[in-house]
Structures are given as structure tokens and as C-alpha cells.
Amino acid sequence: MTTATPPLNNTQLSVNVTTKSQEQSLYQSSGAIVAAIVVGVIIMFTAVLLILKTYNRRMRVRRELEPKPTKTAMPPALGQNSTSPAQHPTVTFIPVDIHMQNR
């Protein structure tokens, strides 16, 4: 007795190969998109860092070059009696939960 081999279905084989190649290309393209986004974020972070660094340097130079204020422009000390409206009275807060001995 001889056994008959079933004929191969060529259409099913080609569909599986096509689907696999499409899946592979999808994975590859999604990986490329993720890599491009990561590189873009790194470039943007570097640009912002450089901009902030140059801004900080310019502001430091500007602060160092501007004239220093004289001592007469400083407000008077707290111990002096003055009636300037800029000074506010100070309030001292004494907490109630201090444990004192009652005799």
C-alpha cells in the first residue's frame, strides 16, 4: 500500500511569510520612531540646558558689573526708634504647650 501525500497549499505559505515580514517591518519602524523621539528629547534637553547656562552667565556678569548700593540706602536697624510706615511691629509667639511646674 502506498500513502498519498497531501498537496501543499502555496497560498497559505505565502500569506504566513508576508504577514511575518509585515510584522517585522512594523516592529522595526516602531523601534526607529521610538529611537527618533528619544534622540529628539535629548537634543531639546541639551538646547534648554545650554540656553539656561548662557542666561545664568549673562545675569551673573550683569550683577557683578552693576554699581554697589551705598550704606545710606539700607533701612535703619530694628532697635532704633523710627516712625517710618515701612516698619511693622513685631509679634512674639509664645507656645502654650510649654510645661511649667506648678507648686
Share above pLDDT 70 across residues of the chain, in percent, rounded to a whole number: 50
Would residue 13 count as lying in a domain?
no
Q: Using one digit for the tens of pLDDT, what is the confidence trace for 79-89?
A: 555 555 556 66
| 51 confidence band (pLDDT: 50, 70, 90) | very high
Would residue 30 count as lying in a domain?
no
Does residue 18 surpass a pLDDT of 70? Answer: no
Question: Is residue 75 within 8 Å of residue 86, measured between CB atoms?
Answer: yes
The whole-number pLDDT of residue 26 equals: 82
Would residue 43 count as lying in a domain?
yes
Would residue 46 count as lying in a domain?
yes
Higher confidence at residue 38 or residue 12?
38
The whole-number pLDDT of residue 87 equals: 61
Domains: count for the chain: 1
Would residue 97 count as lying in a domain?
no
Would residue 29 count as lying in a domain?
no
Would residue 83 count as lying in a domain?
no
Q: 69 to each of 59, 65, 74, how far by Cα in Å?
A: 18, 12, 8
Q: Which domain holds residue 49?
A: 36-67
